[in-house]
Chains A and B, each alone.
Chain A
Amino acid sequence: MKSSVSPTQRAAPPRPRTTSAMLLAGVLLTSSGCAVANSAGGDTGRDDGRTLRVVLTQEPPTLEPCEASLTGTGVVVRSNITEPLVERDPTSGALNPLLATGWKQTAPRTWTFDIRSGVTFQNGAPFTAEDAAFSIDRAVNSDLACNVEGYVFGDEDLEVKAVNDGSLTVTTEKPDPILPLRLSFVEVVPRTTDTKAKVRVPIGTGPFAVRSWQPGAAISLDRFDDYWGRTPDFARARYVWRSDASVRAAMIDKGEAEIAVALDPMEAEKDTTVAYPNNETTALRLDGREAPLDDIRVRRAIDLAVDREGIIDALLGGLAEPAGQLVPPGVVGHSDQIEPPRQNVAKARALVREATADGVPTGRQITLVARNGMFAGVSETAEALQYQMQEIGLNVRVRMADTATQLQYQLRPLPKNVGPIALLIMHGNQAGDAAFTTSQYLLSDGPQSTFGTDALDRRIASAGALSGEKRQKAFADLLTEQNQSVVQYAHIAHMNGLLGLSRSIRYEPNSATGDEMRLAEVHSAKGAKH
C-alpha cells in the first residue's frame, strides 16, 4: 500500500500543516495523559497504615452477592461486604452463627433459624428475618440464574418464610441434613435489592462497605462504622488487580500492597510468602464412553502411570500433596484409608498389553485437554502426563485451551465426535462436604461427569441423606468404590495456594482464603487499631 521511493531523490518540501498536525497531536496526547495520571495515591492507595491494599489476579466482573460463589467476586464480597446466616469454620468444618444466632431442624424437611437482632445494613435499614427470606428467595428461587443456585442448590427450590422479625423457616423438597451449610453460601441483602437484574455494587451487613469502584483500576472499601460485630483493624481496604504473578510478588517486595494472591511456586522461599491448602485437587478425568478409555484396564493403567511425587517436586514447587481422591483432608467424606497410588510403569504397561490383546484399540489417539492458567506449571504438568501415558504404550496429544473452550469439555452436554478425552481438571470443594463433589463429578449424569454406574449413583443418593459419622463413612466408602470399580479419575495432587503477605500485617490464610478473604481477620503487625 505504501509507495517505495528512493531516499536519494529530492522530495517535495514538507508542508507547514504536517508539522502543525504532529505538534497538535503531541500536545493532545500529552495533555490527555493527565486523565490517567491524576491521583497522587496511585492505584494501590497510600501506604498510610490505615488502608489494607490487596492485589488480585483480575478485576471482579461484578460484586453481585448471588455470584459470590465465583472466586473473583467472592474473595471481595463474602464476609467483607455481605454476610450469610451461618458461616463454616474453614479449619474445623463447624458451622458458626453469623446473622443467625441458632438453627434447628423442626420438621423432616424444615429448618428454623433465629435471626440476630441489632444488625443494620450499610444503607441504614435494620436487618430482619424478612431480609433473610428475601435474600434466599432471590438467590435460589428467582430467574436471576445466580451461580450460587447452580453450585450449591442444584435445581431445587426452597420454601422460605419469615415467621416474625426474629425467626425464619426454610423448607426443602426432600430432607436435607446439610441445609445450614448450603445457606452459608447465600449472602444476605436488603429486601429493597433489585429482583429483576443482578446488582453491580451490593449493600450488605458486613464490616466494610463499597466506597468506590474505578473500573479497570481499583475497588475501595470503607470500614462500616455501625457494624454489629468486632471492629476491623483497618479503616479502609483497596483492591487492585495484576494478572502477572511476578508483578503481584513485586508489589509486596516494593511495599505497594499488603496482600497478594496466587503467587508462583518460585516465590515460595521468601519470608513474605505463605503456603496454605486451598481445597483444590487436580486430576485427570478419563472419558469412559470412548475407546480405549472405555476399558477399565486402560484407565487403571493411566492411574498407575502418573508420577505424582515427580510432578509435585519438579513442577509444582513441592507445594502439594499426592492425591488418591477428589476431596482433600478436612472435607466431610475424605477417606484417610485411600493411599495415592505409587507409579508402577511395568504394571501399567502390562494392563495396556492385556487390553490390546483383547482387541481394545490402545493405539487410538487420546486428547489430553488442559486449561491455560489453571495453576502455575499447568502446561508442563500436561506434558509430563502425556509423556507418562506414552511410556505405557498409549498415544496421547496435548491440547491447551482457554477457560471457555475447556468448559465445553468439562460440562454437560459434552462435545461429540471429539475422540477419547483425558481432561485435566482442578476441583475446589469450598463447602467442606463431599456431597458437592459427588453430585457434580461422580454421578452417572453429573454435570461434570462423563459416566458412572447405577450402584455408585445409589450410594451417592443414600449418602446425601445421612448426617454425622454415618455421612462421613458413606462418602468415604463410595470414594473408595469409585477408585475400585469406576476409575473415572486419575487423581494427581491436593494443591496449595501461595499468598504474599507484607511484614506490616498479621494474617493466617486458611483453606477458604482463595474464595473468601476476610479482611477483618487481617491485623496490623504492631497490633495497633487505626
Chain B
Amino acid sequence: MIPFLRKRVLSSAVPLICVVLGVFFLARMTGNPVDLYLPLSATPEQRAEFSAAQGFDLSIPAQLWNYLVDAAHLDFGTSLRTGQSAGSMVIDAFPVTLQLAGVTMLLAITGAVLVGSLAAYRPNSLIDRIASLLSMTAASIPDFWFAIMGVLVFGVSLGWLPTSGTLGGPEIWVLPIATLLIRPFGVLVQVVRGSMVSALSAPYVKIARSKGATPRRVVFGHALRNAATPVLTVAGDLTVGLVNGAVIVETIFGWPGIGKLMIDSILQRDFAVLQAAVLLTAVTIFALNILVDVCHALTDPRVRQAVPA
C-alpha cells in the first residue's frame, strides 16, 4: 500500500504544481491591476509606489520566488480589493463550497445507487426506461437554466422556497443543492445502472439467487459490492468537478464560496486572493484524488498490486 500511495502522490503532485504556477503566470499576463485600483489622475509616482508596494515592479521570477517563500510561511498576501488577508478570505469561503459539494455528493451517490440498482434489477422494464430517460435529461440540463427556473417556479410562483441567500433554515439549501445535484445524479444513475446490469448477470449472482437469497440481498449484498469500483471512480471525478463548478450556484444564489471568490478575483485582478484560492482548491483536489485512489485500491487489490514497488 505504501508504494502505491507514494506513486500516486508523486504523479498527482505534478498537475498540482502546474496549476499553481500556471495561474501565477497567466494572472500576470492579464496586465497590471493599477488601472483598477488607482484613480485616473494617479501620478506616475503614485503608480510606481502602488506597484512597488504590491511587488509588481519586480521581475516575474522574483515575484514567483517571493510568492513561494511567503506561501511556505502560510502568508498569501493582502487582497487589493478589500485590504483583508487573502488567506483568511479563502479560508472563510472554502467551507461554503465544501458544504455544498459534500452534501450534494452524498445525496447524489445515495439516490443514484437506489435508482440505478432498481433500474438494473429489471432491465428494459418501465422503471428502467423512466430512470434512464430522467437520468439522461438530468445530466443534460444546463445548471444556469435549472437554477433560474427553480427560482421562478419554486421561489416566485409557488412561494415554497427562498429565491437565494445563505442565512436561514434548511429551505435555503434546497435550490442550490438541487442545481448542483442534478448533473452528478444523472451521470451516476447511468453508471450505477451499467455496472449493476453487468454484476447482476455474473455467475456468482446466479449462484446466490439459486441459494434463495432475497432480491435485496442479491442487489445490495452481492452485486453492489462488485459494481462499486467504477461508481467510486466516477463519483470522485464528479466531486472534484463540483468543487470547481460551484461557481454558477454560488453566483446565482449569493453563496460566498470559493468559486465566486475566484471569479471575483479574476475580474478584479486580485492576484493574491486568486493565487491563494487556486492553491487551496488544487491541494483539495489533489487530496481528493489521492483519497479516491486509496478507496479504489482498498476495494480492489489488483489496483495496488498493479503498481510496482
Contact of B46 among A2, A33, A145, A197 (CB under 8 A): A145
- Which of B35, B92, B159, B301 gathers the greatest number of chain A CB atoms within 10 Å? B35
Q: Is residue B43 contacting chain A, with contact meaning CB distance below 8 A?
A: yes
* Closest chain A residue to B226, Cβ basis: A11
Which chain B positions have C-beta within 8 A of A39?
167-168
Q: Is residue B83 contacting chain A, with contact meaning CB distance below 8 A?
A: yes
Number of residues on chain B facing chain A (CB within 8 A): 84
Contact of A404 among B31, B233, B292, B296 (CB under 8 A): B31
* Closest chain A residue to B170, Cβ basis: A37
9-residue interface stretch from A103-111, A114-122, A245-253, A504-512: A245-253
* Closest chain B residue to A23, Cβ basis: B106
Q: Is residue B64 contacting chain A, with contact meaning CB distance below 8 A?
A: no
Q: Quick check: A43 and B36 within 8 Å, CB to CB? A: no
Q: Quick check: A18 and B159 within 8 Å, CB to CB? A: no
Q: Is residue B295 contacting chain A, with contact meaning CB distance below 8 A?
A: yes
Q: Is residue B62 contacting chain A, with contact meaning CB distance below 8 A?
A: no
- Which of B42, B46, B99 gathers the greatest number of chain A CB atoms within 10 Å? B99
Q: Is residue A426 contacting chain B, with contact meaning CB distance below 8 A?
A: no
- List CB contacts (< 8 Å) of B57-98 with chain A: 81-83, 89, 92-93, 95-96, 98
Alpha-carbon gap, A28 to B268, bound state (A): 34
Q: Quick check: B30 and A8 within 8 Å, CB to CB? A: no
Q: Quick check: A5 and B168 within 8 Å, CB to CB? A: no
Contact of B167 among A29, A43, A61 (CB under 8 A): A43
Whether A250 touches B156, Cβ cut-off 8 Å, given contacts A2-B292, A38-B167, A43-B166, is: yes
Whether A216 touches B252, Cβ cut-off 8 Å, given contacts A5-B302, A405-B31, is: no
Which chain A positions have C-beta within 8 A of B43?
155
Which chain A positions have C-beta within 8 A of B292?
2
* Closest chain B residue to A39, Cβ basis: B167
Q: Quick check: A240 and B254 within 8 Å, CB to CB? A: yes
Q: Is residue B208 contacting chain A, with contact meaning CB distance below 8 A?
A: no
Alpha-carbon gap, A40 to B170, bound state (A): 10
Which chain B positions have C-beta within 8 A of A9?
226
Encoded as 1 (CB less than 8 Å from any A CB) or 0, chain B from 235 to 272 comes to 01100000000000001111110000000101111000
Contact of A32 among B36, B99, B264 (CB under 8 A): B99
Which chain B positions have C-beta within 8 A of A408?
31, 35
Which chain A positions have C-beta within 8 A of B39?
145-151
Q: Is residue A198 contacting chain B, with contact meaning CB distance below 8 A?
A: yes
Which chain A positions have C-beta within 8 A of B300?
3, 5, 11-12
Q: Quick check: B172 and A37 within 8 Å, CB to CB? A: yes
Q: Quick check: A14 and B30 within 8 Å, CB to CB? A: no
- List CB contacts (< 8 Å) of B96-112 with chain A: 96, 98-99, 102-103, 106
- List CB contacts (< 8 Å) of A388-433 with chain B: 402-405, 407-408, 411
Does more than half of chain A's interface fall in helix, strand or loop, or is it mixed? loop
Which chain A positions have C-beta within 8 A of B233?
2
Q: Quick check: A62 and B82 within 8 Å, CB to CB? A: yes
Alpha-carbon gap, A251 to B46, bound state (A): 43
* Closest chain A residue to B264, Cβ basis: A58
Number of residues on chain A facing chain B (CB within 8 A): 77
Q: How far is the CB of A164 from chain B (nearest CB, A)?
A: 32
Q: Is residue A357 contacting chain B, with contact meaning CB distance below 8 A?
A: no
Q: Quick check: B164 and A33 within 8 Å, CB to CB? A: no
Which chain A positions have C-beta within 8 A of B148?
244, 246-247
Encoded as 1 (CB less than 8 Å from any B CB) or 0, chain A from 230 to 261 comes to 00000000001111101100110110100000
Which chain A positions have C-beta within 8 A of B252?
242-244, 247
Whether A30 touches B306, Cβ cut-off 8 Å, given contacts A7-B198, A37-B169, A242-B164, is: no
Q: Is residue A200 contacting chain B, with contact meaning CB distance below 8 A?
A: yes
Q: Is residue A195 contacting chain B, with contact meaning CB distance below 8 A?
A: no
Q: How far is the CB of A187 from chain B (nearest CB, A)?
A: 15
Encoded as 1 (CB less than 8 Å from any A CB) or 0, chain B from 132 to 152 comes to 000000000000000010011
Encoded as 1 (CB less than 8 Å from any B CB) or 0, chain A from 14 to 29 comes to 1101100000011011
Alpha-carbon gap, A153 to B42, bound state (A): 11
Which chain B positions have C-beta within 8 A of A36?
96, 99, 166-167, 172
Which chain A positions have C-beta within 8 A of B168?
37, 39-43
* Closest chain B residue to A148, Cβ basis: B39
Q: Quick check: A37 and B167 within 8 Å, CB to CB? A: yes
Q: Quick check: A217 and B256 within 8 Å, CB to CB? A: yes
Alpha-carbon gap, A504 to B63, bound state (A): 54
Q: Is residue B125 contacting chain A, with contact meaning CB distance below 8 A?
A: no
Q: Is residue A154 contacting chain B, with contact meaning CB distance below 8 A?
A: yes
Which chain B positions have C-beta within 8 A of A146?
39
Contact of A61 among B81, B93, B295 (CB under 8 A): B81
* Closest chain A residue to B79, Cβ basis: A61
* Closest chain B residue to A154, Cβ basis: B41
A-B contact list, 6 entries, CB within 8 Å: A7-B195, A33-B103, A40-B169, A150-B41, A197-B83, A403-B268
For the complex of A and B, the 8 pairs showing the least CB-CB separation, nearest first, are: A150-B39, A216-B256, A29-B102, A43-B165, A42-B168, A150-B41, A39-B167, A447-B40
B: residues with CB less than 8 A from A are 11-12, 30-31, 33, 35-36, 38-43, 46, 49-50, 81-83, 89, 92-93, 95-96, 98-99, 102-103, 106, 148, 151-152, 155-156, 159, 162-170, 172-173, 195, 198-199, 201-202, 204, 225-230, 233, 236-237, 251-256, 264, 266-269, 289, 292-293, 295-296, 298-303, 306
Q: Can you add 16 more A-B contacts, CB < 8 Å, to A1-B12, A15-B298, A216-B96?
A: A2-B236, A5-B302, A10-B204, A11-B228, A29-B98, A29-B99, A33-B173, A35-B99, A40-B168, A41-B168, A58-B264, A215-B92, A244-B252, A247-B148, A247-B163, A250-B156
